[in-house]
């Protein structure tokens, strides 16, 4: 267990995956574009609690919401780098790229 | 944490603590903590120049996660501990993070007397209208008629206005913002840290899991939308007709005066006694 916690802290595994509550939830397809360097917003899914604040308050609709509630970058070209999602994420799970 | 691009907030966190943090999904405490860290960062204060003191409660878990000098103390007694820290090390910027129950109910007496003395503390009151951590009992700021676990038929008590209380007790910088207005909160915390004297910053926050669920306020995004729609800046208060401002939360700097600060008065007393002795 201690080894698992250590791995969880490093971010390489999600500890909750093993809990029985999580196993019952139907696995939904999580959409990501895959290449984080090209996206204006980086979402760190290990820290995300799926509250939906970022996708609700995104002024241009850059962020969408997966069926399980987690956010994903739906329209990267729409981002205006306002950093609203970066500031309003309660879990520090979103890092917005600064305007170039 | 390895594969994540770093931002300012991340560099101030204690990464040996368990993340994601303890707060529920959608809780505003994380937003307030982010604003506080950015305010400290923008002022260019070193980590050893800041002391963060808290009592017990959801919001009082904040010092656990940040890499400042921190002190996590007993319920309601954050301000007495902070007073001790400030008097012993007057060069420190002491921030007290406290909740509505911790500050106005259990530590209410300490709060008003710290305001009266005008001690140079920055008190961030995160007001979520309920005792979240202990199971949803009503607090002095639960709106009249709202449901809590100890008032299942609606709360019959009138509401405590934290800013009015601080102004009446003699605090010299009093401001109110909401968690939704995170830039404004950041600005007020910054102004409070710069101000020499007692600064009280009330940040109205959302507790979607207990308060929101008991009172059918919706989830975290809905509660934050309500903050946005039901609050007005203090500058607009005089310009708008009274029917538009009725029942709305007033945001902004409500009081800002300069007065003699407590640690300076104390130092003057010590100096004068030393002089008398040496004569």
Interface test with A, best of B19, B27, B58 (most A CBs within 10 A): B19
- In this structure, are residues B227 and B149 in contact, taking their beta carbons and an 8 Å threshold? no
- With respect to residue B4, please indicate whether it lies within any of the assigned structural domains: no
Sort out which chain A residues have CB atoms less than 8 A from B189's CB and list them. Answer: none
Query: Quick check: A9 and B225 CB within 8 A?
Result: no
Query: What pLDDT is recorded for position B115?
Result: 94
A31: pLDDT confidence band, cut at 50, 70 and 90? low
Considering only CB atoms, A11 lies closest to which of B1, B25, B208, namely B1
Residues on chain A bordering chain B, Cβ-to-Cβ distance under 8 angstroms:
5, 9-12, 42, 44, 46-53, 56-57, 86-93, 95, 97
Considering only CB atoms, B26 lies closest to which of A11, A90, A92, namely A90
**For residues B118 and B172, what is the distance between their CA atoms, to the nearest angstrom?**
7
- In this structure, are residues B92 and B119 in contact, taking their beta carbons and an 8 Å threshold? no
Burial class of residue B123 in the structure, from the number of CB atoms within 10 Å of its CB (0-12 exposed, 13-18 middle, 19+ buried): buried
Interface of B with A in 164-183 (CB under 8 A): 180, 182-183
**For residues B52 and B62, what is the distance between their CA atoms, to the nearest angstrom?**
9
- With respect to residue B242, please indicate whether it lies within any of the assigned structural domains: yes
Phi and psi at B238, nearest 5°, equal -80, -30
Sort out which chain B residues have CB atoms less than 8 A from A57's CB and list them. Answer: 221, 224
Average pLDDT estimate for B113-120: 94
pLDDT, one tens digit per residue, over B128-138 is 999 999 999 99
pLDDT, one tens digit per residue, over A42-87 is 888 888 999 999 999 999 999 999 888 889 888 888 889 899 999 9
Burial class of residue B28 in the structure, from the number of CB atoms within 10 Å of its CB (0-12 exposed, 13-18 middle, 19+ buried): buried
Query: What pLDDT is recorded for position B205?
Result: 95
Stated as kind and residue range, the H or E segment containing A64 is strand A63-65
DSSP secondary structure of B90-109: TTSEEEEEEEHHIIIIITHH
- In this structure, are residues B104 and B116 in contact, taking their beta carbons and an 8 Å threshold? no
Residue B224 contacts A, CB cutoff 8 Å? yes
pLDDT, one tens digit per residue, over B99-114 is 999 999 999 999 999 9
- In this structure, are residues A39 and A81 in contact, taking their beta carbons and an 8 Å threshold? no
Query: What pLDDT is recorded for position A17?
Result: 47
**Structural domain boundaries enclosing B196:** 24-278
Query: What pLDDT is recorded for position A37?
Result: 60
pLDDT at B178 over 80: yes
Among B25-34, B49-58, B240-249, the range scoring the smallest mean pLDDT is: B240-249
pLDDT at A24 over 60: no
A20: pLDDT confidence band, cut at 50, 70 and 90? very low
The CA radius of gyration of chain B, in Å to the nearest whole number, is: 19
Spell out the domain ranges in chain A.
26-96
- In this structure, are residues B185 and B201 in contact, taking their beta carbons and an 8 Å threshold? yes
Interface test with B, best of A21, A48, A92, A93 (most B CBs within 10 A): A92
Interface test with B, best of A16, A19, A53 (most B CBs within 10 A): A53
Model pTM score: 0.88
Spatial neighbors of B239 by CB under 8 A, at least 6 apart, are none
Residue B31 contacts A, CB cutoff 8 Å? yes
CATH (domain of B161): 3.40.50.970
pLDDT at A2 over 90: no
- With respect to residue B5, please indicate whether it lies within any of the assigned structural domains: no
pLDDT at B258 over 50: yes
B199-204/B93-99 β-pairing? unpaired
- With respect to residue B1, please indicate whether it lies within any of the assigned structural domains: no
- With respect to residue B234, please indicate whether it lies within any of the assigned structural domains: yes
**For residues B135 and B132, what is the distance between their CA atoms, to the nearest angstrom?**
6
B65: pLDDT confidence band, cut at 50, 70 and 90? very high
Sort out which chain B residues have CB atoms less than 8 A from A89's CB and list them. Answer: 30-31, 34
Interface test with A, best of B1, B4, B24 (most A CBs within 10 A): B4
Residue B46 contacts A, CB cutoff 8 Å? no
Report the top-level CATH class of A26-96.
Answer: alpha beta
Q: Is the ipTM of this complex over 0.90?
A: no
Sort out which chain B residues have CB atoms less than 8 A from A10's CB and list them. Answer: 1-2
- With respect to residue B7, please indicate whether it lies within any of the assigned structural domains: no
Sort out which chain B residues have CB atoms less than 8 A from A97's CB and list them. Answer: 5
């Amino acid at each position: 267990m201690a080894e698992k916690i250590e791995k969880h802290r490093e971010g390489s595994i999600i500890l909750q995956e093993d809990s029985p509550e999580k196993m019952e939830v139907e696995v939904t397809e999580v959409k990501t574009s895959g290449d984080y360097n090209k996206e204006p917003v980086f979402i760190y899914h290990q820290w995300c609690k799926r509250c939906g604040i970022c996708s609700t308050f995104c002024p241009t609709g850059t962020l969408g919401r997966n069926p399980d509630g987690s956010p994903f970058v739906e329209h990267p070209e729409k981002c205006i780098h306002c950093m609203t999602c970066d500031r309003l994420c309660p879990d520090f799970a979103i890092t917005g790229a600064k305007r170039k | 944490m390895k594969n994540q691009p770093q931002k300012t907030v991340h560099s101030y966190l204690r990464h040996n603590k368990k993340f994601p943090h303890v707060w529920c999904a959608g809780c505003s405490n994380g937003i307030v903590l982010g604003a506080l860290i950015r305010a400290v960062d923008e002022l260019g204060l070193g980590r050893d120049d800041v002391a963060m003191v808290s009592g017990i409660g959801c919001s009082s878990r904040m010092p656990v996660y940040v890499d400042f000098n921190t002190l996590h103390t007993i319920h309601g007694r954050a301000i007495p501990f902070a007073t001790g820290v400030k008097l012993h090390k007057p060069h420190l910027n002491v921030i007290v993070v406290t909740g509505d129950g911790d500050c106005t109910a259990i530590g209410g007496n300490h709060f008003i007397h710290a305001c009266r003395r005008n001690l140079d503390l920055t008190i961030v009151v995160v007001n979520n209208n309920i005792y979240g951590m202990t199971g949803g009992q009503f607090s002095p700021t639960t709106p009249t008629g709202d449901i809590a676990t100890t008032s299942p038929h609606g709360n019959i008590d009138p509401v405590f206005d934290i800013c009015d209380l601080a102004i009446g007790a003699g605090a010299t910088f009093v401001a109110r913002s909401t968690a939704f207005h995170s830039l404004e909160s950041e600005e007020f915390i910054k102004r409070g840290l710069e101000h020499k004297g007692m600064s009280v910053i009330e940040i109205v926050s959302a507790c979607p899991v207990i308060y929101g669920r008991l009172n059918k306020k919706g989830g975290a995004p809905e509660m934050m939308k309500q903050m946005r729609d039901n609050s007005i800046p203090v500058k607009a208060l005089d310009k708008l007709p009274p029917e538009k401002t009725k029942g709305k939360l007033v945001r902004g700097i409500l009081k800002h005066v300069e007065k003699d600060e407590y640690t300076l008065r104390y130092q003057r007393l010590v100096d004068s006694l030393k002089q008398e002795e040496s004569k």
